[in-house]
Amino acid sequence: MNLDRFWTAFTYRDYRLLWTAMVTGSMVMWIRILGTAQWLLDETGSAILVGLIGIVQLVVQVPALLWGGTLADRTNRKRQMTIAYATIGVTLLTLGILDLQDLLSPVHIYLGIAICATAQMFAGPARAALLPIIIPEKILMLAVSTDTASANAAAIAGPLLFALVAATAGLEYAFLLAGSMALFAASLPLQIKAAGRAKREDPTDNTSTVQRTLEGLRYVSRHPILPGLFLLDAGITMASFYREILPVLALGMFAGGASATGFLGAANSAGAIAGSFVALMFASYRAKGMLVLYASFAYGVILFGFGLANSLWIGVVLIAALGAADAVTVAVRQTTVILTTPDAMRGRAHSLMILAAQTANNVGTIWVGFWAAAIGAANSMVLGAFIAIAATALIGWYWKPIREFRSED
């Protein structure tokens, strides 16, 4: 593979702006995720209250994603991104100021999480739908691969930056930094020269937002492979999602604080980058469905080992391997959506893919938070491993299209 090709997308000015906004926004998201979870754990000492983050996000993200994806197919995507990032910036700055004044409470944290999570769901589909407008179709897959690797790199930088700022200055300054970064990201989309609106196949089409959202749901539900892939991801993630509850795992498994949380988060993202390259090595492997099943089984086995880890550094290595296994499944899902979805449906298809993943993530956060409080953090990971392996075996056996799915040569 010629690594110079990964720089091709950066020769386009509009892509450089879109890429910078994405990377900055990803770092902000991770600082927000870890900062809010760490604050709740430090102030309340309750793994259950940290797990409630999943409920808050689940409530707001479902309608936000459905609406955001539909708007991305009908309105100005650049403006949608700018409003979303600006909203996140103002919210995080407010949390930081309240914390500085010793006025921050769990209610404020949950409200801030709800606002930020909603805004992120508007930014994602808009960006995904804008990408094909500014990048030629012949290098679209290259740009997507560049985005994937860059997002994972940002997911390393974000937790490390959080760990540095939280350990040296305090959580309040982590919120203030993330808010400032989000406002910077908000300034970039409107500088893009390409048109922000998708070309409508029928300019006279006055279909309502609700009808177009339902149209997207029907498209995905009838897709021959996407429902099965989404179900497989949900079955595993709901029993084992650990990313938003890393402070609980760091404390319960390794007696660590914000620094341990940052190291675990960064290692997981580093593993995801490695997994992205592994997925590229298997780009010509036609049995993509079986590749997902193999990676899912590997995820369950590694998760079992992570639950038994007795030192932070062993945990760091194993959580990196978890990120790698997960990255393979993510790469297959994203590639399938891109290659099998028409342009006029891309915003809605992307939003539904993220909706399935985020719903599973939020349920998983609630599940892991509950079981970590009930049986311990390590045991919650072991339990999740058994469920993940069983779910992969059952879905792989009963959902025949996954086993039979083959990509084109």
110: confidence class by pLDDT, cuts 50, 70, 90: very high
pLDDT of residue 121: 87
SS3 105: coil
Q: What is the CA radius of gyration of the chain?
A: 20
pLDDT of residue 208: 66
Q: Is the model's pLDDT at 282 over the cut of 80?
A: no
Position with higher pLDDT, 179 vs 68: 179
Can you tell me the mean pLDDT for 341-354? 71
Which residue ranges make up each domain of the chain? 3-188+209-404
Position with higher pLDDT, 201 vs 51: 51
Can you tell me the mean pLDDT for 379-388? 91
Candidate from 139-148, 177-186, 217-226, 246-255 with smallest mean pLDDT = 139-148
SS3 137: helix
Mean pLDDT of the chain: 83
Looking at domain 3-188+209-404, its CATH architecture is Up-down Bundle (1.20)
Cα 80-86-90 angle, rounded to 5 deg: 150
- Tell me 199's DSSP state: P
Can you tell me the mean pLDDT for 310-332? 86
Position with higher pLDDT, 178 vs 373: 178
- With pLDDT > 70 as the criterion, what percentage of the chain qualifies? 87
Position with higher pLDDT, 51 vs 391: 391
Can you tell me the mean pLDDT for 332-336? 69
pLDDT of residue 1: 45
318: confidence class by pLDDT, cuts 50, 70, 90: very high
- Cα-based torsion angle of the residue sequence 119, 122, 125, 126 in order, rounded to the nearest 10 degrees: -110
Candidate from 143-147, 250-254, 263-267, 383-387 with smallest mean pLDDT = 143-147
Listed in sequence order, the residues at least 6 apart from 96 whose beta carbon sits closer than 8 Å to its beta carbon are: 172, 173, 174, 175, 176, 179
pLDDT of residue 343: 63
Contact 133, 8 (CB under 8 A): no
Q: Is the model's pLDDT at 2 over the cut of 50?
A: no
Q: Is the model's pLDDT at 204 over the cut of 90?
A: no
Can you tell me the mean pLDDT for 240-254? 81
pLDDT of residue 45: 86
Q: Is the model's pLDDT at 163 over the cut of 90?
A: no
Residue-wise pLDDT tens digits, 41-75: 889 888 788 878 878 887 887 788 778 877 877 77
80: confidence class by pLDDT, cuts 50, 70, 90: very high
pLDDT of residue 206: 61
pLDDT of residue 201: 47
**How far, in Å, CA of 86 to CA of 355, rounded?**
22
pLDDT of residue 129: 78
pLDDT of residue 219: 80
Residue-wise pLDDT tens digits, 117-153: 999 989 988 887 788 788 876 776 667 767 877 887 8
Position with higher pLDDT, 151 vs 216: 151
Instruction: Tell me the two tokens of residue 161.
Output: 């930056």
pLDDT of residue 130: 84
First to last CA, the chain: 17
**How far, in Å, CA of 245 to CA of 38, rounded?**
9
Contact 134, 18 (CB under 8 A): yes
Greatest Cα-to-Cα distance within the chain, rounded to the nearest angstrom: 63
Q: Is the model's pLDDT at 32 over the cut of 60?
A: yes
Position with higher pLDDT, 243 vs 110: 110
